[in-house]
Structure 1
Amino acid sequence: EGPWVDDVRIGELGLFIGQNILYLFDYGDEWHFRVELEEIRTEGRKPREPKIIEKKGEAPEQYGYYEE
């Protein structure tokens, strides 16, 4: 069993450029995303906000209204 997600920072994982990881976004709905590491910065610059560079299909509403 690995460490809990809130106990690990992504920089501690030993990832390398070009590596793909599977990112589980929502533990209830189990939304999985394949993420590719494109760049590693080690200097002390402020990190930029994450951005979507490619998508496939239409994104579902994250917190939509449900019919009962």
Structure 2
Amino acid sequence: MKTYQFRVSIIGIPKLYRLIEASENCTFDDLHNVIFQSFDRYDEHLYSFFITRKDTKSMRNIYDAPQITHPVSAEEMMGYGERKESTAKMQICDVGLNEKDVFHYLFDFGDEWWHRIKVQNIKETKAKKKYIKLIKSVGESPPQYPDYDDEEYE
């Protein structure tokens, strides 16, 4: 079985990243859950992964890439004639990632927390069971909802 090491960073925040190790049979839901926990989030929102394979700053290229999205969002898109894969059904091994590939993750469609995920390496292991874990944390997580100065909105 293959094991993937992912470097997950929040776009626009330097010196902040998480290393996550996952077996190939983990779903993108599993990956979301570890990212969610590793950045100290507490309020669930919809999310999507965009399999761009290359690093890009072009939102058009990101949105044009194959999308794997939250099960509720995937179901809603089918009503509009769009077919999006569900994170609950798609496993990491299903998308054919290679070392050094980059893909993008959007958490919270309103606040838009954009992440860059790079495949650091892929190893063949003898493990048989599904597993995913945070292996390194660098930098302090930003608050999910920044405290706005009350006077600013009065």
Give the TM-score normalised by structure 2. Answer: 0.33
For residues 8-32 of structure 1, the C-alpha deviation after alignment (integer angstroms, 9 at most, x for no partner) is 1222211100111011133342211
Answering whether residue 84 of structure 2 is matched by residue 2 of structure 1, we say yes
Q: Which runs of 5+ in 1 are unaligned?
A: none
Q: Aligned with 1:11: secondary structure? A: helix
Which sections of structure 2, spanning at least 5 residues, go unmatched?
1-82
Structural mapping, 1:1-68, within 5 Å: 1-43=83-125, 44=127, 47-52=132-137, 59-63=141-145
Structure of greater relative contact order (alpha carbons < 8 Å, 6+ residues apart): 2
Instruction: Give the partner amino acid of 2:113.
Output: W
Q: Structure 1 or 2: larger strand share?
A: 2
Distance 2:89 2:103 in 1: 18
Question: Normalised by the size of structure 1, how large is the TM-score?
Answer: 0.61
Query: Do the aligned partners of residues 50 and 25 (structure 1) sit closer, same or farther apart at CA in structure 2, a change above 3 Å counting?
Result: farther
Percent identity of paired positions between Structure 1 and Structure 2 = 29
Matches of 1:4 and 1:34, distance apart in 2: 20
RMSD: 3.0
Amino acid at match of 1:30: E
Q: CA deviation at 1:48?
A: 4.2
